[in-house]
Structure 1
Amino acid sequence: MGNTTKASTITKEEILAAYEYRHATRVFDSSRKISHEDFEFILETGRLSPSSFGFEPWNFVVVQSPEIREKLVPYAWGAQKQLPTASHFVLILSRLPRDMAAGSEYTQRMMRDVQKLPPEVAEGKQKTYDFFLKSDFRLEGNERAMFEWGARQTYLALGNMMTAAAQIGIDSCPIEGFDKEKIEQVLTAEGIMDPEHFGIACMAAFGYRVNEPRGKTRQTAGQVVRWV
């Protein structure tokens, strides 16, 4: 008899149906609010997402204040309709290079306090990570590339949150249409983001659709998949 897990009770058809259901929702029904329990579930799928070396470079800021949302509108051209109507609006921040460097206080704390690694194991992991940054991906010394590498990881959490939302009938929209510098200035001025440690990677809106979308369009599997 094969191994069974709780996850196996979810059928492949149900998972694919969630992907078919999900679309980039432009306008949400502002009268409908996601329950606290459901949104905590969505956030938890982000928290549990994988990251390179397990260093979790993300921070999720849930913006429910109408005043803060209004201050973001002038600098978020891709969220003009979502900011006023979404039930929940999330800013996904990414750690800056100083925190993601090998030997930084942050990575040391992650290995010691979160990953609970013995000192000798943490030392070995730090050396491997240092080699990765310097030689494998050659990120060290390139501040922008280093930040974008961290931001790429936040998209793993973003994808998981959007899929989880779709599985329970909640709509979402990933957003990159914003002036990064201006948004960060607003967040810093409001005391929401520490510019010494974080920058904004992306945004995401969650809620319930007003209109049904047109059918999903994607390239065929034959166009995007190769077996070698």
Structure 2
Amino acid sequence: MTIEVKQGAQTATNADFISVAAGRRSVRVYDSEWTISKEELQDILKTAIMAPSSSNLQPWRFLVLQNAELKRKLLPIAYNQQQVVEASAVIAVFADPLAYEKAETIYGSAVEAGYMQESVKADFVKRTVQTYGSLGEDRLKSIALVDGGLVSMQLMLAAKAKGYDTVPMGGYDADKFKEAFDVPQRWAPVMLIALGKAAKEGHPTTRLPLEEVAFWNSIEA
């Protein structure tokens, strides 16, 4: 049985999603001649930011690098991993721990869309600012990083659905990246994502058996 999931004018099947998720590979060799338009990257990002986030505060921030000179600038910062210059784009994902400062804008847009009443919005804004404003720096960063991981995975699946390949990269000097590209100090680095057309397919990998990682009702050693 195939389950259909409808959203707006688009219809996706359960089989479509499974094939995208199963077909995603971490690709490290890209066709350096392949270019992706800004419009296509925007489409991928628009799908990515539909990811969930704590209180819908959407703390993710992106720096998209397509310019060849900027990618070469990134190369030594990324420990000379060639995919950063060969891929069509490198997307740096960050998380803003102070995203709650945009609560008025975020919930205000929900009112404009007809999803929330003005009185409810005012209460949401007040409680959100009070709650998050009372949290410590480490807790705020932890929450934002979880959301950064969610949006990153959705970005990679969105790219695969459009026929592109990706690799998530944690191997880079985040402090040097922020300095080199004038990233706001308060933004917490999540990862780099190289994105483009594979020149060499990512190799298949195995996973631990589900029984070793999933437990029902109690955790057994």
Fold match by TM threshold 0.5: yes
Instruction: Give the structure with the larger helix fraction.
Output: 1
Listed as ranges, the gaps of 5+ residues in structure 1 are none
Partner of 2:204: 215
1:22 paired with 2:24, answer yes
Task: Please say if residues 178 and 184 of structure 2, whose CA atoms lie closer than 8 Å, have aligned partners that are also in contact.
Answer: no
Task: Please say if residues 45 and 157 of structure 1, whose CA atoms lie closer than 8 Å, have aligned partners that are also in contact.
Answer: no
Q: How many residues align?
A: 209
C-alpha displacement at 1:90, in angstroms? 0.7
Task: Please say if residues 25 and 204 of structure 2, whose CA atoms lie closer than 8 Å, have aligned partners that are also in contact.
Answer: no
Query: TM-score, normalising length from structure 2?
Result: 0.80
**Per-residue CA shift, 1:151-199, capped at 9, x if unaligned?**
22022111111112212321001111122221111121xxxx333x534
Task: Please say if residues 61 and 91 of structure 1, whose CA atoms lie closer than 8 Å, have aligned partners that are also in contact.
Answer: yes
Partner of 2:169: 175
Change (3 A) 1:69 1:213: closer
What is the percentage of aligned positions where both structures have the same residue? Answer: 25
Task: Please say if residues 184 and 199 of structure 1, whose CA atoms lie closer than 8 Å, have aligned partners that are also in contact.
Answer: no
1:125 paired with 2:114, answer no
1:148 paired with 2:142, answer yes
Query: TM-score, normalising length from structure 1?
Result: 0.78
**Per-residue CA shift, 1:36-84, capped at 9, x if unaligned?**
443232111122222111111112221112222222222223x722211
Partner of 1:201: 190
C-alpha displacement at 1:131, in angstroms? 7.0
Superposition RMSD in Å: 2.7
**Which 10-residue stretch deviates more, 124-133 or 155-164?**
124-133
Change (3 A) 1:167 1:4: closer
C-alpha displacement at 1:124, in angstroms? 2.7
Partner of 1:93: 94
Instruction: Give the structure with the larger strand fraction.
Output: 2
Partner of 2:103: 107
